[in-house]
Structure 1
Amino acid sequence: MSKGTVLISGINGYIAAVTAQRLLDAGYSVRGTVRKSSSATALIEGPLKKYFESGAFEVVEVPDITVDGAFDEAVKGVTTIAHLATPVSFHFKDPAPILHAAIQGTRSILASAQKAGPQLQSFIHLSSIVAILTNAPAPSTLTEADWNTWAEPMISQGGDNISGVVIYGASKTASERALWAFRDEQKPNFTITALNPVYVIGPPLISPKTPKDVGETVAPVWTVFSGASYATGASAPHPTVDVRDVADLVGAVITNAKQCDGQRYIARGASASPQAMADVLRKTFPEAKDRIIEGEPGVGYEEDYQVDPQKGVVIDSDKAKTLLGRDWISFERSVVDTAKAFVHLL
């Protein structure tokens, strides 16, 4: 017997695909949405084949997530909705279509959720740490109470030099604000929760066929592992979290829906630099030592892969770790497991 049916938007995405597998393995049924059915072929014929053949996994087309009623058919009979589909890139050029997709996609699926039926228990929204990032000077500590108040105004002011990072930050902030506005105004019968992960790494469910297929968030691991140049030494550390932790947080929210209602959860496991990745990979893959640039071993990161609060910004993720019920997957394991997905490319 299935524990219930979870609708996952953008099932062919990096985080969504891993989440689907973790939920299926845990006994849930999963219905995934894609813009074109062919986008899910690799999943259906690959790692999720047995679930597709058993009927536990199905795929439906939603060509345009921004259209009113786009998800009306997809939500029928589901017990949970995990809205994981969102444009992800730090190289966006034009903010208008990105903000439109992020905001209207969220509003559309929420409107459909209202029509899903009384069996719908929870709605989980994949936001981002960028919706929390303040511009407070370091040292400082970020919690779920904080909000990004700078990205959207920068977009409103316009200009030709708005970076992709700002566009991405504005889109994630605006879409999450739309989520909470819906909750305040509509007071739905289902619970609403937001997940705010930092930079996500970890092994993709399907390994890339070519270097061009390497996802943007795991690209830094590929860069180091492939032997390309990277910022060696004391470059600024980046907060990271394993994709499997994010996927398991979705499961934890489903299990504890009432407790998680109205809550945000920061997912952050470690903070480390490309130099730290190189040190881990050179140690784990001795045959790659001649390929991976050595740099300055041990420089630019803490031994426990955490940020010293006197040097930078501390991101408090204790709330999510408590919900998860275990410690975060280690930085070393995340980097090594990600690299294993790239071995065939070398």
Structure 2
Amino acid sequence: MAEATEKELILVTGVTGYIAGRAAEALLQAGYRVRGTYRDLDAATKTKNALSEFNNRFEICEVSDIAFSGALDEAMEGCAGVVQIAAPMHILDQKAIPAVNQAVRIVNGVLESASKHPSIKNVIVISSVSAIRGGISRPHPFTEKDWPTDVEKMFEADPDGMVGGLVYKAAKVAAERAFWKFRETNKPKFAMASVCPSFVHGPPLVLPSSVFKIKETTGFIVSIQAGLDGPDIFKTNPWWVDVRDVARAIVFCVNNHMDGERFLAVAAYGPQQAVADVLRSARPNSKAIKGVPGKGYTMPGYKAPEDVDQILDGSKLVRMTGQDYIHYKKSVIDTAQAYEPLLAHVGPLVFVRKVARSICSYLMPSSK
């Protein structure tokens, strides 16, 4: 694997985000300089403080609206690569057509800006498993070769009838389709690759100020850690990857100038019972509901049981990088430990239940 040099500057968009923060950290650890875009200065300052050990190689720049044409022209000056993660979407407040149009506009804007800078060697976009899974009703292992054609047909036939998670899926599919169409049509000199994570947990770079601020899928573990049920969406689609593995995949793509490659990042099948079992085994006094230990998943590898027809196959990333994913058990424990300080200040159980219901409220059951 090629090694980074301090002469190479990588732009990470939306650096205050959950995945982007860890991506910036991983790139810095690999020897790169990183410039991160932000909209909220307070959040950017917290990210900068969290990466203070790399202070001389990490800088931030404001981009108030990445959807505007040319929004990243200045931010890309002198960069060798771009990691496109920022994707502002208010799913519950948007109809499918404006959400899709915005997602496509952002991706095309990033690529058009990159085309103006000869120094850019590669562009990596963070997509989603939502741009892979779907369109097949029979038993099937989903890989990087798949696309959710059912969602695309639904959007074409009745976009106004799509809500919540379906809007999210439509936007993710359209954005990544636009990414690859740009490559095919424009044949840019820079390499292009995508990383498509499943649901993501793992410790955040910057801890939210309260449980009310948890917007990532880590809320699943936090809920169970507090002795409650997790959000329903994660009960029906319990496929997980650690945020640090997503960051590692990004570094791999940058290091090796991956071109034309998609990577499905998914490490384990971990339903609510698996989380509870991990927490109770690691902490005898855990509040996690006991349930029926071992039910609904296979041990010791945290795989889907035989009655699950459609599975997600993230083995390509392992094969190409030569490194396995962070073990599911470690990921769950590390996540729980990271969020413990927030739970320590939570009051009565009724208050916790309100918090749990607010976690990941931007995801709807229809996103499965």
**Is the structural similarity TM-score above 0.5?**
yes
Mark the runs of 5 or more structure 2 residues left unpaired by the alignment: 344-368
Q: Relative to 1, partners in 2 of residues 1:169 and 1:153: Cα closer, same or farther, differing over 3 Å?
A: same
Q: What per-residue deviation string (whole Å, max 9, x for no partner) do you get for residues 169-224 of structure 1?
A: 10110000110111111110000001111111111111122111112311111110
Range that drifts further, 310-319 or 185-194:
310-319
Q: Does residue 275 in structure 1 map to residue 276 in structure 2?
A: no
Q: Distance in 2 between matches of 1:97 and 1:21?
A: 33
Residue identity matched to 2:117: A
TM norm structure 2: 0.86
Range that drifts further, 94-103 or 240-249:
94-103
**CA apart distance, 1:138:** 4.0
Q: Helix, strand or coil: the match of 1:120?
A: coil
Q: Helix, strand or coil: the match of 1:145?
A: coil
TM norm structure 1: 0.91
Instruction: Identify, as 1 or 2, the structure richer in helix.
Output: 2
Give the structure 2 partner of residue 5 of structure 1: 9
**CA apart distance, 1:156:** 3.9
Give the structure 2 partner of residue 43 of structure 1: 47
Contact 1:239 1:268 in 2 (8 A): yes
**CA apart distance, 1:112:** 0.3
Q: Distance in 2 between matches of 1:65 and 1:48?
A: 23
Mark the runs of 5 or more structure 1 residues left unpaired by the alignment: none
Range that drifts further, 69-78 or 292-301:
292-301
Give the structure 2 partner of residue 17 of structure 1: 21
Q: Distance in 2 between matches of 1:74 and 1:237?
A: 37
Q: Distance in 2 between matches of 1:111 and 1:18?
A: 26
**CA apart distance, 1:97:** 3.9
Q: Does residue 335 in structure 1 map to residue 332 in structure 2?
A: yes
Percent identical among aligned pairs is 36
Give the structure 1 partner of residue 355 of structure 2: none
Q: Helix, strand or coil: the match of 1:276?
A: helix
**CA apart distance, 1:72:** 0.5
Give the structure 2 partner of residue 228 of structure 1: 228
Residue identity matched to 1:331: Y
Q: Distance in 2 between matches of 1:302 and 1:108?
A: 44
Contact 1:222 1:342 in 2 (8 A): yes
Give the structure 2 partner of residue 58 of structure 1: 59
**CA apart distance, 1:101:** 2.7
Q: What per-residue deviation string (whole Å, max 9, x for no partner) do you get for residues 48-68 of structure 1?
A: 12323x2x1111111111111
Q: Helix, strand or coil: the match of 2:124?
A: strand
Q: Distance in 1 between matches of 2:124 and 2:218?
A: 24
**CA apart distance, 1:90:** 6.9
Alignment partner of 1:298 out of 288, 294, 300: 294
Q: Relative to 1, partners in 2 of residues 1:226 and 1:325: Cα closer, same or farther, differing over 3 Å?
A: same
* Aligned residue runs from structure 1 range 169-180, under 5 A: 169-180=169-180
Q: CA RMSD in A?
A: 2.0
Q: Does residue 78 in structure 1 map to residue 97 in structure 2?
A: no
Q: Distance in 2 between matches of 1:242 and 1:326?
A: 14
Contact 1:11 1:20 in 2 (8 A): yes
Q: Relative to 1, partners in 2 of residues 1:28 and 1:159: Cα closer, same or farther, differing over 3 Å?
A: closer
Number of aligned positions between the proteins = 336
Q: Distance in 1 between matches of 2:272 and 2:305?
A: 17
Q: Distance in 2 between matches of 1:331 and 1:286?
A: 19
Residue identity matched to 2:164: G
Q: Helix, strand or coil: the match of 2:50?
A: coil
**CA apart distance, 1:159:** 6.9
Contact 1:36 1:62 in 2 (8 A): no
Contact 1:268 1:315 in 2 (8 A): yes
Range that drifts further, 133-142 or 102-111:
133-142
